[in-house]
């Protein structure tokens, strides 16, 4: 836990240069995904290397890496058929679970005799439940990608599969404590449709406005903007013990007074921004992900209030040296 913040600490975070390592990991990731998608072309006719897009989504988006940053991406697949199949599968699975629950109730001892009488009388009829498992869905894509990734990785690397992502851990290939996370999505124009099974539908992400805001900040403040992103990324992670919400951090800096991001002394910039945030209600801050939405209304940042409150409160006990 951080107890004291000094100028040296902040400058070490800001000026640490891991660009060669990051570029190596990113290059290997793009190469691995290209090989895997090319491999899938042989079995899935509507998935092609030419049409798929690997979209950076966290620190991979702005290069504000800190120790322990994951390399996270949306793999956008432009396929209406895959989208329809995934929705159909989801609805069918929900119906299947409902019928399974009903069947469980019907099998209770209380109704066993009645059901047997119905069978003998020809009233009871078995029903086959069609869950549409023969259709290719995002779940099938996850499974096939996992096999393809494993094919092109060494034996020391491991590919973990969750309900909506693949996590690659390969110390020998990517470096110690390095994790690659790939989220397969449906790509429609510039929208990435991320399937949420509990909603039986998609959350939609578009990164064009975020890219516009990022480029605007980078043009105005240059490397200072990346330095400040790295500082807040590091402090948020150390204090909250949670992965940093990158869109939230970008939104904070985007809404701060512009003069706070200027100047050669990055520690001075950091202190001005921190002091400003400690006395400011950020509920009116705009999100950098969706134009016109506030920071606590947007898809990615609306649930981050608790972590942000914890972050600010911690500075009541942290000793901050002025110089």
Cβ pair 174, 28 in contact under 8 A: yes
Tens of pLDDT, residue by residue over 74-95, are: 999 999 999 999 888 654 444 4
Q: Which domains does the chain have, with CATH numbers?
A: 17-81+136-206 (3.30.460.90), 209-317 (no CATH)
pLDDT at 112: 52
Tens of pLDDT, residue by residue over 214-226, are: 999 999 999 999 9
- Is-above-0.85 flag for pTM? no
Does residue 102 surpass a pLDDT of 60?
no
């Amino acid at each position: 836990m951080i107890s004291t913040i000094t100028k040296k600490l902040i400058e070490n975070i800001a000026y640490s240069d891991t660009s060669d390592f990051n570029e190596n990991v990113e290059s290997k990731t793009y190469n691995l995904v290209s090989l895997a998608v090319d491999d899938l072309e042989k079995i899935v006719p509507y998935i092609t290397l030419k049409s798929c897009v690997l979209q950076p989504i966290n620190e991979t988006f702005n290069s504000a890496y800190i120790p322990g940053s994951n390399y996270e991406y949306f793999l956008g697949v432009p396929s209406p058929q895959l989208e329809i199949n995934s929705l159909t599968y989801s609805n069918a699975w929900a119906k299947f679970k409902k019928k399974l629950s009903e069947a469980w109730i019907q099998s209770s001892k209380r109704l066993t005799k009645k059901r047997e009488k119905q069978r003998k009388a020809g009233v009871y009829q078995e029903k086959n439940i069609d869950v549409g498992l023969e259709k290719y869905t995002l779940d099938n894509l996850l499974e096939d990608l996992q096999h393809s990734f494993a094919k092109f990785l060494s034996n020391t690397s491991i590919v973990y599969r969750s309900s909506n992502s693949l996590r690659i851990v390969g110390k020998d290939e990517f470096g110690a404590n390095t994790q690659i996370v790939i989220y397969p999505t449906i790509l429609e124009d510039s929208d990435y449709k991320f399937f949420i099974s509990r909603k039986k539908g998609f959350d939609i992400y578009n990164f064009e406005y975020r890219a516009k805001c990022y480029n605007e900040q980078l043009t105005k403040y240059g490397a200072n903007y990346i330095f400040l992103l790295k500082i807040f990324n590091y402090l948020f992670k150390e204090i909250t013990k949670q992965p940093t919400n990158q869109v939230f951090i970008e939104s904070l800096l985007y809404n701060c007074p512009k003069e706070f991001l200027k100047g050669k002394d990055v520690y001075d910039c950091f202190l001005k921004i921190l002091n400003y945030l400690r006395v400011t209600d950020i509920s009116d801050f705009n999100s950098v992900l969706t134009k016109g939405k506030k920071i606590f209304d947007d898809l990615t940042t609306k649930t981050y209030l608790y972590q942000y409150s914890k972050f600010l409160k911690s500075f009541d006990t942290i000793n901050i040296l002025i110089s």
